[in-house]
Amino acid sequence: MFELALTVIGVVLGFALSAAYESAKGKRNTKNISRILHREIQSNIDALQNELSVINQASAENMPSFIEPLTMQEIAERIKSAVSAEAFNMCRLEVPSLGSRAAEDIFNFYESARQLPKTIQEIERWAGNIRHGLFEDLISHLIEKAEEAKKRVAS
């Protein structure tokens, strides 16, 4: 009888320890993913703010007449190269473990960052729809999405 009780206790203890280990491992993985994405999103925010200042400085009203301002194609390429998604692509499958709201904000930011250069390149088709400050507004909106994603990842 004692051996049977000892075996049952050993099995229950084994399951409990295995579950605790898996839970701790999952929390550690989630924390690491959060830290990596937080770092990448912050570097993307810095790069986008830098590109925003370059675009503001290189606008037509700030440039001498003998220097061409940035074209929409150049602006789109600068934004595309400013946003890095390497860490996001590596841990894309693990992002939902951060929570549904955080995952939604992260995916929303990276999808918007992927779409923005295409949107800017398509603006040339509707040249009459370009207004002063349009690129600044588009990039600022992307930065706001990145800030929201960063806030969700940090919590």
Residue 5 falls inside a structural domain: no
Whether the Cβ atoms of residue 59 and residue 69 lie closer than 8 Å to each other:
yes
pLDDT, position 47: 94
130: left (phi over 0), alpha (psi -120 to 50) or beta: beta
Does the pLDDT value for residue 124 go beyond 90? no
Q: What does the pLDDT look like over 19-61, one tens digit per residue?
A: 888 878 778 888 889 999 999 999 999 999 999 888 887 665 6
pLDDT, position 155: 73
Residue 12 falls inside a structural domain: no
Residue 21 falls inside a structural domain: no
Residue 69 falls inside a structural domain: yes
In three state form, how does the secondary structure of 63-78 look? CCCCCCCCCHHHHHHH
Q: Which domain holds residue 58?
A: 32-154
Domain count, the chain: 1
**pTM for the full predicted model:** 0.78
Torsion angle of C-alpha atoms 111, 36, 103, 20, degrees rounded to 10: 160
Whether the Cβ atoms of residue 41 and residue 85 lie closer than 8 Å to each other:
no
> Which contacts of 12-18 are long-range, i.e. CB under 8 A and separated by 24 or more positions?
none
pLDDT, position 129: 58
Residue 8 falls inside a structural domain: no
Residue 109 falls inside a structural domain: yes
Residue 92 falls inside a structural domain: yes
Residue 100 falls inside a structural domain: yes
Q: How confident is the model at residue 63 (pLDDT cuts 50, 70, 90)?
A: low
